[in-house]
Amino acid sequence: MKRTTFILAIIFFQFAGVITPGCDSKVQDDNETYERIYFAKQDLESLQSDSDTLSISGVSVEKWENFRNISDKRIIGNESLIDELKTRIKKSGKRNDMIFEKRIYILEQQNKNLRQRISAYPEIQSDWDSFKQEITSELDQISMELKGLDVGETR
């Protein structure tokens, strides 16, 4: 008798375990759908806010997107050069490389700073022409210094 009750209890709990997770899936799907809609609305509001901010500062969204894309490509190029130089320094193991490591670290931080400044521009609303000129000038300077280190490294 005890054995039969025990077996029935085990079967009942296993059956309940199979049915219970199936009930939650509808609720989970509804929550996931709600979250997707909520975050999509936030993204849309954020894009509209960026668009409004850029139009207030006198820059068209197209100009801003074009400049940001070009700058991002150059920053990514700088990052790949930095990674390549770091790899070369690790492989060579020379004492003089400490000077190069320090300079590469400084250039890497400047590159990261530029990326942050570019992404923060819509909130800052500074003069577009001077901002664009400063960023372009700094990108040129970092690229030239990285290429100069690259030439010095191959000697």
Range 102-116 burial, b when 16+ CB lie within 10 A, else e: ebbeebbebbeebbe
Task: Give the whole-angstrom CA distance, residue 113 versus residue 3.
Answer: 72
Q: What's the confidence (pLDDT) of residue 17?
A: 61
Sign for the pseudo-dihedral over CA of 40, 42, 47, 48: positive
- Residue 79's SS3 state is helix
Mean pLDDT by 10 residues, the chain (155 residues): 72 64 54 66 64 61 87 92 86 76 90 90 80 92 85 47
88 by Cβ neighbours in 10 Å (0-12 / 13-18 / 19+) ranks as: middle
Tell me how far apart the terminal alpha carbons of the chain are, to the nearest angstrom: 90
How far lies 103's CA from each of 15, 28, 30, 109, in Å?
Answer: 67, 52, 53, 10
What pLDDT score was predicted for residue 120? 86
**Half-sphere exposure for 137 (CA within 13 Å, toward CB):** 6
pLDDT for position 43: 65
* Predicted pLDDT of residue 44: 64
CA dihedral 74, 143, 64, 54 (to 10 degrees): 130
